[in-house]
A = this chain, B = another copy of it.
Amino acid sequence: MGLTKSEIFSEKQNRIAGMAKVLGHPARVAILQHLIKVQECICGDLVGEIGLSQPTISQHLREMKNIGLLKGNIDGNSVCYCIDENTYQEMRSAFEELLGHSVGGACC
């Protein structure tokens, strides 16, 4: 079937999964790391930096924009990308909340 049954999960669970999914590809991790380092850049920079084709980078950028992690600002004939601080902090909080527990499993 291949169709995720989102309706049986909470909004929050679906949101966390969506944010994690966007980090679930090394190209998007690399894009985020590069943007953390240089704060802002254009698509062409990332094509040179990462080594995937321009359409592929563009597609990854769109997915990152779709969940709100990136913003793009048109500047002449190029587009300046940077991280959306709100979503970036939302992700930090969500993962910290999910991963900040004590987990001493007794059985294993």
Interface residues of A (CB under 8 A from B): 4-6, 8-9, 13-14, 16-18, 20-30, 32-33, 35-36, 39-40, 50-52, 71-73, 75, 80-85, 88, 91-92, 95-96, 98-101, 103-108
Contacts and interface: CB of A to CB of B under 8 A. Distances in A.
Contact of A108 (B8, B71, B103): B71
> What is the count of identical protomers in the complex?
2
Nearest to A89: B99
A107 B83 CA distance: 10
A44 to B, nearest CB: 15
Contacts of A14: 26
B75 A107 contact: yes
Contacts of A9: 26-27, 29-30
